[in-house]
């Protein structure tokens, strides 16, 4: 089984599909969106998805007329374990950093302040909501940042209006490029969350220090159409969903959870309903 899975992943584009689903986990992603994100023909993407499904690395489900695909986390974990534990005898000099201590905690200090980065494409609404809400709700325990893969020059005015209406501080908020958080002088990140599907679809360099990461995708309220009231409603719904996720995350007993349990909890938060 290990050789079969490694053979499937040895193809660069099949690996690209697998890595995209890894970044989008726990979401199930439509086949058409996978093809579009990776610049593949629909028929080509279908062949790659079928190969990954046969290898047991991803699962398939139907929602209406759409086929959606999700990473099989247990299968991926088993593959890595078999490769590094069985094949390499668990030697720490051959295993990835931290692989030998999966039950370790992110920190044993209850008074540590954790650094959290929220990423979306434009860094003008969803990730700005997350940064501002985190500072407002749990700024004593978390230092919140946000960034975009292709940041806008200005923040969305509806987003700023919504934060102001909720009594959340907006001074100092600005759109930033993720490059600010990838250099040698960047803050050490403990958590990295993507909050839009497009950002999660993009291949980013590995983050130093192995932060806990998850995908908390939400619809882009800036794409809402209709009257001013309808657009504001879209921002209200996105704000409410993000607020609920931030509250749930900030309530986690981080110091008492091992990394595997903490990862499972932040993934579960990403599965919560999108609306407030």
Residue 26, preceding bond cis, omega within 30 degrees?
yes
pTM of the model: 0.73
| Dihedral sign (CA 246, 247, 250, 253) | negative
User: What is the CATH T-level fold of the domain 114-270, as seen in this structure?
Assistant: Rossmann fold (3.40.50)
CATH number attached to the domain at 2-86: 1.10.10.10
- What are the boundaries of each domain within the chain? 2-86, 114-270
113-144 pLDDT per residue, tens: 999 999 999 999 999 999 999 999 999 999 99
Count CB neighbours of 174 within 10 A. 12
Q: Report the alpha-carbon distance of residue 145 to residue 8 in Å, rounded.
A: 37
145-158 pLDDT per residue, tens: 999 999 988 999 99
- The proportion of the chain whose per-residue pLDDT surpasses 70, expressed as a percent, equals 87
Count CB neighbours of 216 within 10 A. 27
């Amino acid at each position: 089984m290990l050789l079969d899975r490694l053979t499937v992943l040895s193809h660069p584009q099949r690996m690209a599909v697998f890595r995209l689903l890894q970044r989008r986990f726990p979401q199930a992603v439509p086949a058409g969106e996978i093809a579009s994100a990776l610049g593949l023909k629909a028929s080509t993407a279908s062949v790659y998805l079928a190969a990954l499904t046969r290898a047991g690395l991803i699962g398939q489900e139907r929602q209406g007329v759409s086929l959606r695909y999700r990473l099989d986390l247990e299968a991926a974990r088993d593959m890595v374990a078999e490769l590094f534990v069985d094949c390499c005898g668990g030697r720490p000099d051959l295993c990835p950093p931290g692989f030998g201590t999966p039950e370790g905690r992110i920190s044993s200090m209850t008074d540590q302040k954790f650094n959290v980065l929220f990423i979306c494409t434009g860094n003008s609404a969803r990730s700005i909501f997350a940064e501002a809400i985190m500072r407002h709700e749990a700024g004593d325990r978390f230092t919140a940042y946000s960034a975009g893969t292709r940041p806008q020059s200005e923040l969305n005015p509806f987003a700023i209006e919504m934060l102001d209406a909720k009594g959340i501080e907006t001074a100092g908020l600005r759109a930033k490029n993720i490059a600010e958080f990838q250099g040698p002088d960047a803050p050490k990140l403990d958590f990295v969350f993507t909050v839009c599907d497009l950002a999660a679809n993009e291949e980013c360099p590995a983050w130093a220090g192995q932060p806990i990461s998850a995908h908390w995708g939400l619809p882009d309220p800036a794409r809402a159409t209709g009257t001013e009231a309808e657009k504001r409603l879209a921002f209200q719904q996105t704000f409410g969903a993000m607020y609920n996720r931030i509250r749930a995350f900030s309530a986690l007993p981080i110091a008492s959870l091992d990394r595997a349990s903490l990862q499972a909890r932040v993934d579960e938060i990403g599965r919560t309903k999108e609306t407030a």
